[in-house]
Each structure stands twice: as C-alpha cells, then as structure tokens.
C-alpha cells in the first residue's frame, strides 16, 4: 500500500468511507448510484484481509463476476459485505439532472449529499473513492469537497483520496454494494440486494 494512504489511515479517528459508482446514461432511464461503505479504522486490516482471501488477493469487480456468471463468488462477496461493514449507504438520482448529458452534474449532487451526510452523522473526514482515470474528473470531486468546506458542511480536515481498487481492496465493498443496488433499480435480480437491504440506508436526490 502507498505510504501516503497508510499515513492518512493512521491519522484518522473516525470511520473511513469507501465510495464507488454505477450509472446509466440513456435518456429517461438514466440514473446515478453512489455506494458508500464505512469501516472503522481499527478494523481496516482485518476486513481487507478477508476481501483478499475471498478473491486470491485481487479486488472484486461484481459486474465482471455477474458477466462471467460466477454466482458462487458473488454470493460470498455479498455475504462478506453484509457481515463486514460498519455502515452502508446508497445515494442515487434517477433520472440525471436536467441538461446533464454525461452524468457529471448528477454525480456531484450525489457526492455532495454523501460527504455532508457522512460528516454530520459519523464525523467522517477521510473519503476513499475509486479513481475515474481522468484527472479532471477526480478534480471535480475535490472541488465539490472544497465548496462544502467553505460552508462548513464538512470538516476543514476532510480529505478525498482517489485510488485504484488494486491499491485499496476495501473499495471492493462499495463496488459490490453499487452493483447489487443496480440489479434492484433496473429490475434485473433484486435478490442480490435483498441480503443487504435491511442494513443499507437508501436516499434519492434530485429530480424525481
């Protein structure tokens, strides 16, 4: 693990948020899902070890498992998430915000809600997000966090960290959560989310 990531983990006292996305860009059926899984700092290593053991040391990408029909590993992944999180949230918008073609405006609305809610309810200051590959895209997230600092909806110490799943296996938990809720939202197979539903807070934002 990168030394800067380890240093941030050691310095935080509050639950750490791991965040991933799932979205659909097509017209009236568009949606944006932001999945958040919290893990207490003291449990990071033990939960990470269980994720690593489940998939031979590799990050879990639920969509790939679904495509390959690797249902046994999917079942085990969902069970791991159900048993090994300290809180879990879904924030989604359906459809995209008016005039939002790419989904970026809608993502930032979801992220704004996530950051302010997690700070208010859990005092979370460290948010670990799956990097979106484009520097400008990750910078857009940081601008949202900066705007929230200005109005004191997150701590001035709040930090967004964009990493690859291979660098932080705990992003797998958010990936699994986002995928399971996507199955429910698109009326494909709600059984995957049903195992988590009682413990996941779901919030819809934006235009209905």
pLDDT confidence bin for 119, thresholds 50/70/90: very high
pLDDT at residue 153 is higher than 80: yes
Whole-number average pLDDT of the chain: 92
Q: List pLDDT tens digits, range 154-191.
A: 999 999 999 999 999 999 999 999 999 999 999 898 99
State the pLDDT at residue 98. 82
Beta bridge partners of 204: 92
pLDDT confidence bin for 4, thresholds 50/70/90: confident
Mean pLDDT value across residues 75-81? 94
DSSP line for 153-176: SS-TT-EEEEE-TTT-TTHHHHHH
Q: List pLDDT tens digits, range 53-77.
A: 999 999 999 999 999 999 999 999 9
Omega prior to 75 cis, within 30 of 0: no
* DSSP at 58: S
Beta bridge partners of 202: 90
Q: Distance from CA of residue 89 to its chain's centroid?
A: 8
Q: What is the Cα–Cα distance from 119 to 38, expressed in whole angstroms?
A: 12
Residue 151's alpha-carbon distances to 14, 17, 144, in angstroms, are 21, 21, 11
Beta bridge partners of 160: 127
**Helix residue ranges, H only, 84-190:** 104-122, 135-150, 171-185
pLDDT at residue 208 is higher than 80: no
pTM over 0.85, yes/no: yes
Task: Report the half-sphere exposure of 68 (CA within 13 A, side-chain side).
Answer: 10
């Amino acid at each position: 693990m990168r030394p800067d990531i380890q240093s941030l983990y050691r310095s935080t006292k509050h639950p750490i948020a791991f965040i991933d996305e799932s979205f659909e860009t097509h017209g009236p059926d568009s949606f944006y899902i932001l999945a958040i899984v919290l893990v207490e700092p003291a449990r990071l290593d033990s939960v990470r070890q269980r994720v690593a053991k489940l998939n031979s040391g590799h990050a879990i990408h639920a969509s790939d498992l679904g495509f390959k029909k690797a249902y046994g590993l999917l079942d085990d992944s969902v069970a791991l998430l159900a048993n090994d999180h300290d809180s879990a949230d879904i924030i989604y918008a359906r459809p995209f915000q008016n005039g939002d073609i790419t989904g970026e405006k809608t993502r930032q609305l979801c992220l704004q809600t996530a950051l302010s809610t997690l700070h208010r309810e859990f005092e979370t200051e460290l948010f670990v997000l799956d990097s979106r590959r484009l520097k400008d895209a990750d910078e857009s997230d940081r601008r949202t966090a900066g705007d929230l600092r200005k109005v004191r909806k997150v701590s001035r110490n709040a930090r967004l960290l964009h990493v690859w799943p291979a660098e932080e296996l705990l992003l797998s938990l958010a990936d699994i959560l986002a995928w399971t809720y996507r199955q429910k939202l698109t009326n494909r197979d709600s059984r995957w989310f049903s195992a988590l539903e009682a413990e996941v807070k779901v919030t819809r934002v934006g235009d209905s």
